[in-house]
Amino acid sequence: MHGQRQKWFAAMRVQRGFSMLEILVTLFLITLWLLSSAGVQSASLQFTKAAQFRTQAVYLATDLAERMQANKTAAVAGSYVVSGSVDAAAMDCTTATCTSDELAQFDLAEWSGRVTAVLPNASVTVSTTGAANPVTYTILITWSDRRSDRAYSGSGTSEAFSYTATKMVYNDAI
C-alpha cells in the first residue's frame, strides 16, 4: 500500500508541472490571437475610411453632373469648366434670382467647398471637349489618403487617389 501511495504522489508531481506548461502555452496562443485580431481590426478601419472617401467622391461627382443637367443653358455654354480652386460666387442663388452663368458659378463654388470639406487635400478639375452636341464634361476629383503606406512601412506618408466621371449634356435647341 505504501508503494502505491508513493507512485500516486510521484504521478501528481509530474501532472502538476505538465498542467502549468499547458496553461502557459494556452496563454501564449491566446495572446497571439488577440494581437492578430487587433491588427485585422485596425486594417479593417483603414479600408473602411478609404471606401468612405471613394463613395463621397462618387456622390460629389454625381451631384455636379445633376447640377449641370438642371442648368443646361450654362452647361452647353461651357460655364462649368474649372481647374484648381474656385472663387466664391458673386451672388447667392438660393436667395436671389440668378442668370444661368451666375448659377453655374454658384454651383461650382458651393460644390467645390463641399469637396474640400469632405475629402482630405482635395482638388477638382472640370473640363469639356468643346461645343459639340452633346457637350461632354470630364469631372476629376483627387484627394490623398494617408493610410496606404503606414500599414507597410510605418512612415505615414500619403498616396493620391482620384475619381473621374463624365457627363454629356445635350443641347436641345439644336
- Containing domain of residue 66, as a range? 53-169
Query: Residue 21 domain-assigned?
Result: no
- Segments of 1-102 assigned E as strands: 82-84
Query: Residue 42 domain-assigned?
Result: no
pLDDT at position 15 over 90: no
The three cell numbers locating residue 170: 445635350
Query: Residue 37 domain-assigned?
Result: no
pLDDT in tens, 127-161: 998 667 788 999 999 998 875 444 444 556 778 89
Split into its structural domains, the chain has a count of 1
| Amino acid of residue 10 | A
Kindly report the CA angle at 88 between 131 and 109, in degrees rounded to 5?
55
Query: Residue 63 domain-assigned?
Result: yes
Q: Please tell me the pTM assigned to this model.
A: 0.70
